Structure 1
Amino acid sequence: MFKWVSWIKYLSISHYSFTGAAINEFSGLNFQAKCFPPNSTCPSVLGETIIQGRLSLNTSETIEWQLWQNVLALVCIFMGMLVLTYVQLTRTKLYT
Structure 2
Amino acid sequence: MHLFCFLQIFAGLLVNLPSIVSWLAWLKYLSIPRYGLSALQANEFTGLNFCQGNSSRPTLEAGCTGEFFLEMQGVDYSTWGLWQNHLALGIMTICFLIIAYLKLRFIKKFT
2:47 to 16, 25, 28: 28
1:64 to 56, 60, 76: 76
Extract structure 1 runs of 4+ deviating beyond 4 A. none
Question: How many residues are paired up?
Answer: 85
Higher radius of gyration, 1 or 2: 1
Pairing of 1:14-93 with structure 2 (within 5 A): 14-32=33-51, 46=59, 48=61, 51-61=64-74, 63-64=75-76, 66-93=81-108
Matched, 1:9 2:22: no
Q: Which residue of structure 2 aligns with residue 39 of structure 1?
A: none
Q: Provide structure 1 residue ranges, at least 5 long, that are not aligned to the other structure.
A: 35-44
CA distance 1:50–1:85, change in 2 (3 Å) = closer
When the two chains are superposed, the root-mean-square deviation of aligned CA atoms in Å is 2.6
Distance 1:88 1:5 in 2: 31
**What is the TM-score with the length of structure 1 in the denominator?**
0.71
The answer to which structure has the higher helix fraction is 2
Distance 1:86 1:68 in 2: 27
Q: Which has the higher contact order (CA 8 A, sep 6+)?
A: 1
The answer to which structure has the higher strand fraction is 1
Distance 2:96 2:26 in 1: 19
Distance 2:63 2:76 in 1: 22
